């Protein structure tokens, strides 16, 4: 994991590079098919995408989210037919509310701008595929 050094008045801490990019308002792309998005970019990245998009609603503090993330990324990279948009619900509360995200992780598949499938919680690689 790439780390960055972050200093605040209250404390100095290490945090993942992706978190620094988000805190600076930058989008952090993890690969060509796996990327972070925000409420502001959701329509363009997901709803208007020509490819189907799997959306991973997660939080940095969620252990099952951390366990599921590499499984989702591997399935998306292997498939080559869909993209994976990751949305941190702590930073995009209005989007989580709009899609009634009540448990984490929640994964939704979108096709032509509409949610077509979803699951909640940790799943095995076979189920994710």
Whether residue 90 lies in the annotated active site = no
Pairing between β-strand 53-58 and β-strand 83-88 as defined by DSSP bridges: parallel
Catalytic residue among 34, 62, 68, 95: 62
Residue 29: both structure tokens together:
């792309």
Interatomic CA distance for residues 38 and 22, integer angstroms = 9
Q: Report how far residue 71's alpha carbon sits from residue 67's, in angstroms, rounded to the nearest whole number.
A: 8
From the candidates 46, 55, 65, 84, give the one annotated as an active-site residue: 65
For residue 79, give Cα distances in angstroms to 33, 36, 60, 97.
10, 19, 26, 29
Known catalytic membership, residue 65 = yes
User: Would you please indicate which residues are annotated as catalytic (active-site) residues?
Assistant: 62, 65
């Amino acid at each position: 994991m790439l780390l960055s050094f972050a200093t605040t008045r209250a404390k100095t801490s290490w945090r993942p590079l992706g978190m620094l990019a988000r805190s600076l308002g930058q989008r952090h792309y993890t690969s060509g098919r796996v990327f972070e998005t925000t409420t502001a970019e959701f329509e363009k990245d997901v709803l208007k995408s020509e490819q189907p998009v799997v959306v991973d609603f997660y939080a940095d503090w969620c252990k099952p989210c951390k366990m599921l993330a590499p499984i989702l990324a591997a399935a998306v990279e292997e498939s080559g037919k869909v993209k994976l948009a990751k949305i941190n619900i702590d930073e995009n509360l209005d989007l989580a509310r709009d899609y009634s995200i009540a448990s984490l992780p929640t994964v939704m598949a979108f096709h032509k701008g509409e949610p077509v499938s979803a699951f909640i919680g940790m799943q095995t690689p076979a189920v994710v595929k």
